[in-house]
Structure 1
Amino acid sequence: MSDDFLSLPDNVLWQRALKYYHEHNFFMVHEVLEVLWKRDTDRKGAFYQAFLQVAVSFYHYGNANFIGARQLARLAIARLNDMPHDFHGVDIKGFLTAYEATMLPLLSNAPGLKPLNGSEAPQITHL
């Protein structure tokens, strides 16, 4: 984790995480969201943890670590299912639907799995 992130306010960190996500830099998404998750132990912390798990699942999937990706995807889906349909300005329901569709080959142990291309990750949309 970069010490530079520790001094930044939550809203700046969230925007930075979104920037990294849209650049498909899932490792850095994890780094930023880890700071936010550790700061917030309430509902918002669970939100950050869910998206941290999403990012790590994509990171593993992209590196052909299908077991790790599958484990993180299941955790992320469970957490996202516990969130309201919109939270922190994010369309959770829409994202979850797209995320599950993206992860379906992995979660169903489809034959011939290939590493995920970052561009296949669903967009995070704001309401």
Structure 2
Amino acid sequence: MVPVAPPDEFWQGVEQFNQQEYYACHDSLEALWIEAVEPQKRFYQGVLQIAVACHHLLNLNWRGAVILLGEGMGRLRDYQPDYEGIDVTSLIIQSAELLQALQKSGQEQVADFVKYLEAEPSGDANEFSEEAIARLPRIWRVES
């Protein structure tokens, strides 16, 4: 079966994801996910879950972020290294780094963790400098 090129709405969702407009991304991708068939359905759901995880994190919902990061990565594993023009491996690595950093910092520190993520990078050391290796994930396109 030859893969079908993703619709424009998918690329709109990717742009929203990369602009950290996670709720809008959710709306864009959910509409595609509902109508999709396999293998696109599972792929869209994995990306959607990572977007919702980031939305939860920015709303200080540590548990929701941790659960959905794990579920999203699990759904995307079979699509590596790339799928539908997306560098899936990179998205999984970034999401895994964020998940690991969240797990290290713990639920009690979620507000400080999010402040660190939103802060401009500086040379100052702080308690999250080692744990928060990555920022919020980005979706990268694969060169054809």
Q: Which amino acid aligns with 1:32?
A: S
* Inter-partner Cα distance in structure 1 for 2:90 and 2:18: 16
Specify the code of the residue in structure 1 equivalent to 2:83: F
**C-alpha distance in 2, partners of 1:94/1:73?**
14
Q: Structure 2: how far apart are the matches of 1:86 and 1:15?
A: 15
Gaps of 5+ in 2: 1-5, 121-134
User: How does the TM-score come out when normalised to structure 1?
Assistant: 0.82
Aligned: 1:77 with 2:92: no
Asked if residue 30 in structure 1 is aligned to residue 45 in structure 2, the reply is no
* Alpha-carbon distance in structure 1 between the residues aligned to 2:7 and 2:48: 16
After superposing on structure 2, the runs of 4+ consecutive aligned residues of structure 1 that deviate more than 3 Å are none
Task: State the number of aligned residues.
Answer: 117
Decide which structure has the larger Cα Rg and report it. Answer: 2
Could you tell me how far 1:85 is from its partner in structure 2?
1.3
**Residues 52-106 of structure 1, C-alpha deviation per residue, up to 9 Å, x if partnerless?**
0000000001111001111111101111112231100111112211121122122
Partner of 1:17: 13
Q: Distance in 1 between matches of 2:10 and 2:44?
A: 9
Task: Name the residue aligned to 1:4.
Answer: none
Aligned residue identity for 2:98: T
1:70 and 1:102 map into 2 onto residues whose CA distance is 9
Identity of aligned residues (%): 24
Retained in 1: the 8 A contact 2:70–2:99? no
1:106-125 pair list within 5 angstroms: 106=102, 108-111=103-106, 112-113=109-110, 114-115=113-114, 116-117=117-118, 120-125=135-140
Q: Could you tell me which runs of 5 or more consecutive residues in structure 1 were left unpaired when the two chains were aligned.
A: 1-9
Which one of the candidate residues 35, 39, 47 is aligned to 2:35?
39
